[in-house]
Chain A
Amino acid sequence: ETGVTQSPTHLIKTRGQQVTLRCSSQSGHNTVSWYQQALGQGPQFIFQYYREEENGRGNFPPRFSGLQFPNYSSELNVNALELDDSALYLCASSRGREGRNTEAFFGQGTRLTVV
């Protein structure tokens, strides 16, 4: 068990709605990254949070937003859901810059279906 937990595991939403996905990082990790994995594709980087601040963003529109809390857990929010947002959303935590530890530990993901 890697210690990264995501909730919920599955979610069905209607187009135009808003959704919040949650991630608890592994103990001792201060960096959280979010990825979107469409069916049959590799994960794509959405954004990363380091010590509660956004620390890099991929090619995703502003309706994808996030937060990191003082305990380093994180939320991913998606507004105005579109059908193409249907995907597996993965959260990964790492120690970030301290110790240059590059290993990212992933959660089991949230499967979002937009209908």
Chain B
Amino acid sequence: AQTVTQSQPEMSVQEAETVTLSCTYDTSESNYYLFWYKQPPSRQMILVIRQEAYKQQNATENRFSVNFQKAAKSFSLKISDSQLGDTAMYFCAFMSAYSGAGSYQLTFGKGTKLSVIP
């Protein structure tokens, strides 16, 4: 079974500054996907960024980028130029690339509550 650990329950950052959220995971699989999801007070999970484990290059999406260290099983999220709208819960999630029964199942960490301060 896979596990995902987010060791920072809460973080805060000044508007326009940069913040990094940490995530580690444990798996015996070699091919998988990693995700960061954002959950604002509206409750809807929104995909922020995705990383495929077989790709060495770190994924980027505008102000969001990841530092994927496969050997260390580490997957951190960097948010640059933080904006007030980035205030939310952030969840790291794992998905196996296995295509059998139960595929496309997400395993989530407990989340990090990010507050962007004006």
Contact = CB atoms under 8 A, between A and B. Distances in A.
Contacts of B110: 40-42
A97 B110 CA distance: 27
Contacts of A107: 44
B104 A90 contact: no
A100 B106 CA distance: 15
Interface residues of A, number: 31
A47 B18 CA distance: 37
B91 interface: yes
Given A42-B110, A102-B33, A102-B50, A31 B43 contact: no
Nearest to B107: A45
A103 interface: yes
Interface in B17-68: 33, 37, 42-47, 50
A21 interface: no
A2 B108 CA distance: 20
